[in-house]
Amino acid sequence: MNHLRLQILDQTTCERLLERLASEAEWLDGSLTAGAQAKGGKRNLQINYDSALRKEIHELVERAMWNHPAVKGFCLPRKLHRLLISKTEKEGGYGTHVDNAYMSSGRSDLSFTLSLTDDTMYEGGELEIDSISESYPIKLKQGEVVVYPSTSLHRVCTVTRGVRTVCVGWIESYVQNENDRICLFQLESGARAVLAKHGRSDELDLIFLAYTNLLRRLGS
């Protein structure tokens, strides 16, 4: 499973956002933004896309993601297309679907879910992502994000207790091919680990040179 999972927001920030969502947000039927194939299986609420609060949270999440070296290295992001804030209550969920190949502002290469609620605040509600032979259930801690290929079938299991509140979004990468992105991420991560452990060297300069030129060749 080619995904990245890590913490990008602290508990205090998440709790503050949840408080503001509870007092300021206008919640709409989430099926309004689902495609025809997935509309019937989407049972959640979403904050009004045009609201100032959603735009503010979009900017906060985008800064947090792009400021994290691992996220930036894994995604090689050209742009974050859009950010939706979703609330799934008891008996809600989202059936199996694949995300649209193109958003209004461009191609979707990577999808992400950032949890504002902790995994102890609700039961059920796992994000399940399919590989060729099996499904991977993921339940995030408060402030954790998971980034995965937009080409994957996935679903949100039915919530049986509590409320699951998350931010979801889509990223266009400078490198469209998933295998190329993974190889570049592994190469850069390994080189940075060697740099931290042993310091700069002529040999390491050659590795960074190869990484940079591969990125230039594979990018679009």
Taking only the tens place, the pLDDT of each residue in 132-162 is: 888 889 999 999 999 999 999 999 999 999 9
Give the model's pLDDT for residue 38: 55
pLDDT of residue 39 exceeding 70, the answer is no
Q: What is the mean pLDDT of residues 15-25?
A: 97
Q: Determine the Cα–Cα distance for residues 124 and 31; give it in Å rounded to an integer.
A: 20
pLDDT at residue 194 tops 70: yes
Report the run of H or E that residue 204 belongs to, with start and end: helix 202-218
Taking residues 28-56, report their average pLDDT.
Answer: 83
Contact 170, 81 (CB under 8 A): yes
Task: Using alpha carbons, list the distances in angstroms from residue 220 to 22, 84, 108, 193.
Answer: 41, 26, 14, 27
Tokens for 219, please give them: 């990018």
Cα angle for residues 46, 109, 216 (degrees, 5° grid)? 140
Residue 174 in contact with residue 214, Cβ under 8 Å? Answer: no
pLDDT-above-70 percentage for the chain: 96
pLDDT, mean of residues 161-165: 97
Does the pLDDT value for residue 87 go beyond 70? Answer: yes
Give the separation between CA 164 and CA 124, rounded to whole angstroms: 9
The CATH T-level fold of domain 4-173 is Jelly Rolls (2.60.120)
Given CA atoms 100, 157, 45, 173 in this order, what sign does their dihedral have? negative
Q: Indicate the average pLDDT of the chain.
A: 93
pLDDT of residue 48: 94
Instruction: Give the CA-trace dihedral at 34, 40, 45, 46, to 10 degrees.
Output: 0
Residue 40's alpha-carbon distances to 19, 30, 208, in angstroms, are: 30, 11, 48
pLDDT band, very low/low/confident/very high, at 27 (cuts 50, 70, 90) = very high
